[in-house]
Amino acid sequence: MGAWDGLNRRRFPRVNYPCQIIIRDDDAEDYVLLTHTENLGTGGVCIILKKGLKAFSAVDVELDLMDFQKNIKCRGKVVWSIRRKDTEEKKPMFYDTGIEFVNLEDNDRARLETIIQKLVKQGRTTPYR
């Protein structure tokens, strides 16, 4: 059994859809993280960060789907954060971080579902991570 086997039982497909995301960490005052998504699903998102976030901590999420509509804003919960292996001495540490959408509005979920289903049909699903 591989390290990721437990995470392969997701309810939502994940797709490769790079977009901008802003994370505001409740545990760190005025700490805002601007990054890109690694993969995206209707239930959550995987992002790459230079800082690990505490598992099960609450965050504010602002997601720009780059589709000329308003940003999606909701609460999120950090469900996992795993430090990547060092590849070079001088590169900073990076963390793959999974965030579950907590109170996503129905219209925002529908918008995500439309984008994701289109990408699934194009074969742009990603390995689960």
Domain regions of the chain by residue span: 11-121
Which are the contacts of 68, defined by CB distance < 8 A and separation ≥ 6?
A: none
Q: Which fold has domain 11-121?
A: Thrombin, subunit H (2.40.10)
pLDDT of residue 14: 83
What is the rounded CA–CA span in Å between residue 1 and residue 7?
11
pLDDT of residue 34: 79
pLDDT of residue 36: 78
Give the largest Cα separation in the chain, rounded. Answer: 45
pLDDT of residue 31: 63
Q: DSSP letters of 65-105?
A: -SSSSPPEEEEEEEEEEEEPPP-STTSPP-EEEEEEESS--
First-last CA distance in the chain: 15
pLDDT of residue 90: 61
What does each of the 129 residues of the chain score in pLDDT, given as a tens digit?
334 343 444 566 788 888 889 898 876 655 677 787 888 999 999 998 888 889 999 999 999 988 889 999 999 999 999 988 766 566 667 889 999 999 999 999 999 999 999 888 888 777 654
What is the rounded CA–CA span in Å between residue 32 and residue 59?
10
Taking alpha carbons only, the member of 18, 90, 6, 4 closest to residue 47 is 18
